[in-house]
Chain A
């Protein structure tokens, strides 16, 4: 059901640490587990059986003793706004050795499925046939990615590009969109990237006038999505699944 309310998002600020150490412990991972049974826990990574995958980033972004670099993104979305750039630099930092590291959001859907498989392995998701994954991405209305680009000093054009996050949405191109498969590389969690990923995906969808954006959230991450503006069971409307396995 499309709404015509004026949309005024709060400003999108990503605050992060310039320290080279990334926090990995105490992170909860929520793998997407559509066709498989429960995946056993791995060391330091908790795995939950779910219909859709989510990343807990509520504690992200506010680490102590950091020299933070804030990237502030335009805060108003109006009809006159120019089309969103396909690529947005979320974080940029320069390391002591001169390496420039950028975290870039893109809604262009440029995903190497082998890199995606490696990323899914990293978060502990069961493997899915690559041909099916490729088809699912191709049939998705929007595929959003996070890449980490490292520009080493003195090297020209030899940038390292790494896929560190992804989220996708299916849609009927007119009324409804549903977000699936949200994941962020464990090495990059804890910085607000999952939040930024979903926020940018929402912005891109709203800009295309898709009024009804939905998803299915495991109980542990309902608050994460509430924080992003999602409401559970609006007006008592319930999400239902056909013979769920678990």
Chain B
């Protein structure tokens, strides 16, 4: 049995494995990450920000108000619920003091090859302190852990500089993101 994994919590510098506890052909490869995320889970927690990965405690009206605050059109919360229920991965940050969401990101896809990241938002009152980066880094990490390496998104021009340091490149090899527009079908 081959056991191969990235261990996400820091390990003591010396690891002793007694061979008698394991089958003969067991190989353990441990990678001790030096710096996985820009801000660690502990850092976030100590500042009152809780990482959440399910929608069960997520108040969709609060989420919707963040969407509106950053300029998205207000969407029907029923539809938002459907969208989130059919979303493979999502992450949000709750501010423990108010118990309200302050950052959010989600990714849809086929679960194997491709993923697209949507709805990356940070409450304007909480922008600039690294929360957007925190959710993005963890969302990408989750997708990579699932084996999905084709990760894409659509970025408004003013936030291209936010995504670049996270490892995203625009129009690689001239590939263009395109959106269907009913107004201009068959325009020649």
Binding site for B on A (CB under 8 A): 1-3, 5, 7-10, 34-35, 49-52, 128, 132-133, 135-137, 139-141, 168, 170-176, 178, 180, 202, 206, 212-219, 222, 225-244, 246
Contacts and interface: CB of A to CB of B under 8 A. Distances in A.
Contacts of A132: 112-113
Given A232-B176, A233-B176, A240 B79 contact: no
Contacts of B84: 172
Interface string B92-117: 00000000000000001111111010
A136 B80 CA distance: 24
Interface in B135-188: 140, 149-157, 160, 163, 166-188
A139 B148 CA distance: 13
A214 B156 contact: no
A180 B152 CA distance: 12
A171 B115 CA distance: 10
Given A172-B86, A237-B155, A218 B173 contact: yes
B169 A214 contact: no
Nearest to B153: A240
A219 B171 CA distance: 9
* Residue from B109, B166, B185 having most chain A Cβ neighbours under 10 A: B185
B37 interface: no
Given A172-B86, A237-B156, A243 B174 contact: no
A52 B174 CA distance: 12
5 contacts: A2-B75, A34-B114, A52-B175, A216-B176, A227-B186
Ranked nearest first, the 3 interchain pairs of A and B with the lowest CB-CB distance are A239-B177, A229-B185, A219-B174
A202 B167 CA distance: 31
Most B CB contacts (10 A, CB to CB) among A3, A176, A235 go to: A176
Nearest to B186: A10
Nearest to A218: B175
A140 B108 CA distance: 10
A231 B179 contact: yes
A137 B112 CA distance: 10
A180 B114 contact: yes
Contacts of A52: 175
A218 B79 contact: no
A170 B114 contact: yes
A5 B175 contact: no
Contact of B87 (A7, A50, A172): A172
A238 B154 contact: yes
B181 A229 contact: yes
Contacts of A239: 152-155, 170-171, 175-178
Given A34-B150, A232-B176, A136 B168 contact: no
Contact of B175 (A50, A141, A168, A206): A50
A181 B85 CA distance: 24
Contacts of A139: 88, 109-112
Contacts of A8: 182
A242 B168 contact: yes
Contacts of A180: 110, 113-114
Contact of A243 (B73, B80, B116, B167): B167
B83 interface: yes
B43 to A, nearest CB: 24
Contact of A174 (B86, B172, B186, B187): B86
